[in-house]
A and B are shown apart, each in its own frame.
Chain A
């Protein structure tokens, strides 16, 4: 009985008793969720256009951030470093298309998935070799990103919102909106959607798969860069980020692998869900449940709705 009370009643009582803490937790979860969603967005972009499940998305986030900070450390001014990093991400996209996607063009999904493992390890090793393995500080000030917090009293206590978090949410929203418009309205966006639907049909109307793939990996690279900047500004730039990025996988499961809105909604659900779980239920289990809670949510979803909230139902035809 006591257990039941602790699990099903106490946490909600706590939530009610200190609404400021609840709002704080919800906000923290929201921000985390937005960042997960951005990583998931990168996955979705690549998956939609090339059918590749890009396991390396997480490391691309770290690599992009590292490149930016590393260049700045070498004395390159902040915005020039930013521009150079964009170029680097383009070169990465080009390299991946040329050296990995093209030779593996007709192979099965699982082979392509494993190839992204190879890219991951390559980037981990390469990044560490070139920039060193120590955690670094993001050049938030130099990029004119806000710092400090907005605090307001109310709800029985006070709630503190970091300005960088607010900036992150705004930038992420703008990015999603831009991408959505890009997909729906522009010629290239249409071509991307065509390729996502059917490679053969796209080829037959003259769309160059190779070009599209470079574009889409580059777009994913830009998303990764933005994510890396935001995330690095909130904490630090280190390789442990890559493991956190694995959390994007449960987001994808919730949202479906092919849906941009799904990535957003999924990200928010996971982000808020795991923060709430950690804060209110975590103490019951000794804490630290954030490391696996997201996956368990995803697992639960998978069992009941294998295609996620927004994904397409896979019908196997015999």
Chain B
């Protein structure tokens, strides 16, 4: 475990502030008055039972859903209703529970696709390729290879992603998000469907990303062990409302959280 005080000191000012956000689909209220913030450099976990609205929360931050009320401030600017590409341009990257990879492309191309915003060479240069466009491709290829080395997926770089096993696909998706060099990385159940070894690898990657690149991370996760070990602070949602927001140890023993996950004790006296 890290020494809390030095880590606390390392965390910066508020990067993302969610204020009183509510989201509904027809009659279904996905989120009701949720407020929390994420500080620069921290690893924030969002947990809660199934259907609590965690993915919806990320979708709102990402720009996929527009909330009916509330405010979102990112990097000091009000950004409540932005389109996903604007979120990407602003420095937010995301992975998905059910994977959103480009199945027709190789690992390398998928991660290179993540460099789309950073590639600036104009249409005319693309038409002739040789010259500035190719030089730019090579430069970005170099960056992508660093990410591939970091994630230890060099052996599968030319394999079409549709053929990869699930765990590796998740890594490729993480690689694509990292290629965007985001300020805020949103991970939706990055460990889902993984065995113990894969989880340990993924945890290591997440920690490294946070520590080496200084990326702020928000992650949705069900594995409590991972949540406790990795995160600085935890937000707990239940039925679209926030029921706890504190350090992992405090959240673990919070009565409301226990009730949300395990239900009410029915007083069986033995």
Contacts and interface: CB of A to CB of B under 8 A. Distances in A.
Nearest to B65: A318
Contacts of B98: 318
B173 to A, nearest CB: 13
B102 interface: no
Interface residues of A, number: 1
Contacts of B64: 318
Nearest to A316: B64
Interface string A277-318: 000000000000000000000000000000000000000001
Contacts of B96: 318
Nearest to B100: A318
B73 interface: no
A318 B186 CA distance: 14
B59 to A, nearest CB: 7
A264 B190 CA distance: 49
A318 B96 CA distance: 8
Interface string B80-99: 00000000000000001010
Interface in B59-87: 59, 64
B37 to A, nearest CB: 24
Nearest to B188: A318
Nearest to A315: B25
Nearest to B59: A318
Nearest to B55: A318
A79 to B, nearest CB: 54
A128 to B, nearest CB: 38
Contacts of A318: 55, 59, 64, 96, 98, 100
Interface in A165-222: none
Contacts of B55: 318
Nearest to B97: A318
Nearest to A317: B98
A318 B54 CA distance: 13
A120 B160 CA distance: 34
A258 B64 CA distance: 27
Nearest to B94: A318
A318 B188 CA distance: 11
Nearest to B98: A318
A90 B59 CA distance: 49
A300 B55 CA distance: 35
A304 B55 CA distance: 29
Interface string B128-146: 0000000000000000000
Interface string B35-70: 000000000000000000001000100001000000
A318 B100 CA distance: 8
A76 to B, nearest CB: 52
A204 to B, nearest CB: 23
B24 to A, nearest CB: 14
A80 B64 CA distance: 60
B104 to A, nearest CB: 12
A318 B55 CA distance: 9
A66 B43 CA distance: 71
Interface string A62-80: 0000000000000000000
A318 B98 CA distance: 8
A318 B62 CA distance: 12
A318 B25 CA distance: 14
B84 to A, nearest CB: 10
Nearest to B58: A318
A318 B58 CA distance: 11
A101 to B, nearest CB: 24
A60 to B, nearest CB: 33
B23 to A, nearest CB: 14
A318 B59 CA distance: 9
A315 to B, nearest CB: 8
B241 to A, nearest CB: 22
A109 to B, nearest CB: 15
A35 to B, nearest CB: 38
A318 B84 CA distance: 13
A318 B99 CA distance: 9
B93 to A, nearest CB: 15
A318 B189 CA distance: 13
A318 B63 CA distance: 12
B224 to A, nearest CB: 25
A297 to B, nearest CB: 29
A41 to B, nearest CB: 31
A5 B59 CA distance: 51
B61 to A, nearest CB: 13
Nearest to B25: A315
A203 B255 CA distance: 45
Contacts of B100: 318
A40 B94 CA distance: 42
A160 to B, nearest CB: 51
A128 B68 CA distance: 60
A39 B173 CA distance: 45
B254 to A, nearest CB: 30
Interface in B239-259: none
A277 B59 CA distance: 46
B184 to A, nearest CB: 18
6 contacts: A318-B55, A318-B59, A318-B64, A318-B96, A318-B98, A318-B100
Interface of B: 55, 59, 64, 96, 98, 100
The 3 closest A-B pairs by CB, nearest first: A318-B64, A318-B96, A318-B59
